[in-house]
Structure 1
Amino acid sequence: MNIFGRCLAIATVAFACAIAGIYVHKLSPPYAALSVDLIRSVSGVIGTLFAIVLGLLVSSSYATFNSHQADFDSLVSAVANIDFLLKHFPDESDQPRLLLKRMVHRLLERYWPDKNGRSLGEVNYNHLSNDVAEIMAINNAAEKFKNISRDDLNSFREFSSKFVGIQSNIIRSLSSEMPALLLDVVFGWACLLFFLYGCISVGNLLEVFFLLLGVIAIASANFLLLELTNPYQGIFKVSSAAFDLLLDSMIQDPEQSSKPSATSN
């Protein structure tokens, strides 16, 4: 089920609980009238718990989203530094720089597949092993450059290690999603809360309208949680602008540059 489907399901269940509460009120109005103070007290406790936990979840999800953005900024910095070091050896570094650029293209296709009309697939350590192999190939090629200093080689290894470490952190973060049971419990509190609100409501049109507004707010909170914990799809996505700018500054791929001329002929 996609994010909008989950939010719609939560909104539907919460609103159904509110309507059920209204029917309970209408079936036994004397008992509902006598229990108003108790219902308000219980709903106050549940509402406070729900607000505290929901606030913590949104804050944690936003921190996770910012962490992913920071990781990608650091990843771009590592790749840019490797490319910058390769530029110091213009007569020997064309092939390693092309290999590096093609790896950046694959990173964009892996984490932002919607640019190519595809959906995000599972990202795992197999992807990282392929990147490690190519980074090692770039380092091995750099070791054969003429007049390369030991400091340059150490810099290559440092930025390569940083690249692998950041990628590993990104993959690990993607694998540790928010537990579904936690969300079920929290939004179960919301459904119970709306049931209690319905129990002290007489069910006129205005009250039903305000209950509907509350349900929409609950669904939007769930939408924020799901969007922020899935930072590579949906509306709120980690920006790929840094990678796009990096690609513009990297070496021109002869295969891509030859495509327009081939089509023109």
Structure 2
Amino acid sequence: MSSITIALVAFVCIFGGTLFGFFLRSALPPHHVNEESKEAVKMGAGLVATMAALVLGLLVSSSKNTLDEMNTGIVNLGAKVILLDRVLASYGPETKDVRDMIRNTLDNTIRYIWPEEHTTQRIDVIVKSTTLEKIHASISNLQPQTDTQRRIQSEAMQLSNDLALLRWTLIEQRHKSISAILLVVLCSWLAMLFTSFGMFAPRNPTVITVLGIAALSVSCALFIIVEMNNPLEGIIRVSSVPLHSAMGFLGK
């Protein structure tokens, strides 16, 4: 499911818990909602609230790390491409075709990951692409004539290997996902917590509005978590600026 769908489902479940709590209060016998019962429910609600807050904090931290790792990978990719292009430029005019291939590959990568119309993500094209392998083969097929060119070729091949490793690292990072069971359990805890709120809160527009805003806030937190956990898709995504900046340095 998309992050928006998950957030909406979470809001319905959590705020539905509040409405269910209102219903329980009117359906239960009076001695079930007296002060002693209220204190016992508060203790249980406090425990659930603490566990939910810990899990939410851990999920936010984990998702933020995923977003930061992907952003760092994109920055490193741009830097490695620039360095590889500079190294090949110092080799001589024989590397012009390879450098053009590098520029076209970077341009295609930007268009595939950040299409102008955000309707489809063609990251699978990058997964199946063999362009980096072709670039590596072209570099290895160079015929260096001097010790300097041999050193440059060796350095370029190492950079090419680094780019390939970085590419597969980014591809693997996009497969990180939050356990659906964890989200279900967290939503269940929050729904139970809001049910306890509804059981002992007065039914008036102010209370209903405040609890509704609280449920919406928690649902937005889940939305942010799921969004950051998918850094190449959705609304919260890594920027393409580092790669566009790298494009400006290639071929010069």
Q: Same fold (TM over 0.5)?
A: yes
Q: CA deviation at 1:48?
A: 0.2
- TM-score scaled to structure 2, two decimals? 0.91
Change (3 A) 1:140 1:116: farther
Query: Is the Cα–Cα contact under 8 Å of residues 78 and 246 in structure 2 kept in the other structure?
Result: yes
- Counterpart of 1:66 in structure 2 is 68
How many equivalent pairs are there?
249
1:10 aligns to what SS in structure 2? helix
Q: CA deviation at 1:33?
A: 2.3
Query: Is the Cα–Cα contact under 8 Å of residues 66 and 228 in structure 2 kept in the other structure?
Result: yes
Change (3 A) 1:132 1:111: same
Residue type of the partner of 1:178? I
Q: Deviations over 1:172-215 (max 9, x none)?
A: 11123121111111122111111111111121111111110111
Residue type of the partner of 2:28? S
Residue type of the partner of 1:175? H
Query: Is the Cα–Cα contact under 8 Å of residues 109 and 116 in structure 1 kept in the other structure?
Result: no
* Structure 1: distance between partners of 2:70 and 2:121: 16
Q: CA deviation at 1:78?
A: 1.2
- Counterpart of 1:107 in structure 2 is 109
Alignment of 1:217-232 (within 5 A): 217-232=217-232
1:201 aligns with 2:213: no
Residue type of the partner of 2:247? L
Query: Is the Cα–Cα contact under 8 Å of residues 25 and 199 in structure 2 kept in the other structure?
Result: yes
What is the root-mean-square deviation in Å for CA atoms of aligned residues?
2.0
1:98 aligns with 2:97: no
2:232 aligns to what SS in structure 1? coil
* Structure 2: distance between partners of 1:139 and 1:178: 40
> After the TM superposition, which parts of structure 1 deviate over 3 Å for at least 4 consecutive aligned residues?
121-126, 145-148
Change (3 A) 1:185 1:123: farther
- Counterpart of 1:244 in structure 2 is 244
* Structure 2: distance between partners of 1:185 and 1:232: 26
1:134 aligns with 2:134: yes
- Counterpart of 1:144 in structure 2 is 143
Query: Is the Cα–Cα contact under 8 Å of residues 124 and 171 in structure 1 kept in the other structure?
Result: no
Alignment of 1:36-185 (within 5 A): 36-113=38-115, 115-121=116-122, 123=124, 126-127=127-128, 130-141=130-141, 143-144=142-143, 146-147=145-146, 149-185=149-185
Q: CA deviation at 1:151?
A: 1.6
Change (3 A) 1:177 1:122: farther
Gaps of 5+ in 2: none
Q: CA deviation at 1:126?
A: 4.0
- Counterpart of 1:5 in structure 2 is 5
Q: Deviations over 1:44-81 (max 9, x none)?
A: 00000000111011011101110111111111111111
Gaps of 5+ in 1: 253-265
Query: Is the Cα–Cα contact under 8 Å of residues 65 and 229 in structure 1 kept in the other structure?
Result: yes
* Structure 1: distance between partners of 2:91 and 2:155: 14
* Structure 1: distance between partners of 2:152 and 2:123: 36
* Structure 1: distance between partners of 2:219 and 2:183: 12
Q: CA deviation at 1:17?
A: 1.1
1:53 aligns to what SS in structure 2? helix
